[in-house]
Amino acid sequence: MRPLVVQAAGTARILDILVTIAESSVMHVLILPLIVLMLTGCASTVMTDYDSAVPFEQYDTWAFAPEEIRTNAMSLDSSRLEAAIKRVLEGRNLRRAPAEEADLWVTYGIEEVERLDTSGFSYGLGLHRGLFGFGVATRPPIREIQEGQVVLELIDPSMDRVVWRASSNKRLNEGMSPDRRRELINEVVVDMFEKYPPGT
């Protein structure tokens, strides 16, 4: 009878280990998405770059760059961008002036970027026998999605070069309604100019 007790005890120990692993796996499944969500929420929605040698306090006026400087034709999103830029800069220490008199020229654009999307169904098959099992699964389909990234640049016409640049991690896509596109553009422009002038 003694060996039976040992075997039963060994089986109980194996079950305890499997339960612990299962609980740990469940916790990982529950916790990992929360961690990803928290990191995403903390991540900056705007990236900026600038010329650190430029004293930005010297700039008092701005204007949209002359048409020959702009790279994009006026589109619906361009009109929304201009409206958002005007609204945001009205509340800052920059005064709008004619292009030939302005300290800074503002240029803008929506650059096309690709994103890989892995949403969709995957299929799996598992076999189980006793306490052990194995399974195989297919990966979800991957497709390329075209999105629009808002980019703003400030040009010092006296030096004929860009002194400040901002781009957004929030993207425009074809599935957005006009109202949602305008709302996102407004949010992005506000976020961008919160980081201007640099170091504030």
Find the range with the poorest average confidence among 31-40, 47-56, 156-165.
31-40
pLDDT tens, position by position, 141-162? 777 788 999 999 999 999 999 9
- By the 8 A CB rule, do 185 and 148 touch? no
Record the pTM: 0.66
Which of 34-48, 134-148, 166-180 is modeled with the greatest confidence? Answer: 166-180
pLDDT of residue 134: 58
pLDDT of residue 43: 55
Read off the pLDDT band of 4 (50, 70, 90): very low
Alpha-carbon torsion 193, 195, 199, 200, what sign? positive
CA distance 51 to 167: 15
Residue 106, pLDDT above cutoff 80: yes
84 vs 116, residue with greater confidence = 84
Average pLDDT over residues 70-88: 83
Helix, strand, coil percentages for the chain (3-state, nearest 5):
40, 30, 30
Please state, in angstroms and as integers, the Cα–Cα distance from residue 198 to each residue in 47, 87, 104, 162, 189, following that order: 12, 20, 15, 14, 15
pLDDT of residue 67: 82
- By the 8 A CB rule, do 124 and 137 touch? yes
Candidates 108, 198, 100, 109; CA nearest to 158 is 100
Average pLDDT over residues 113-127: 65
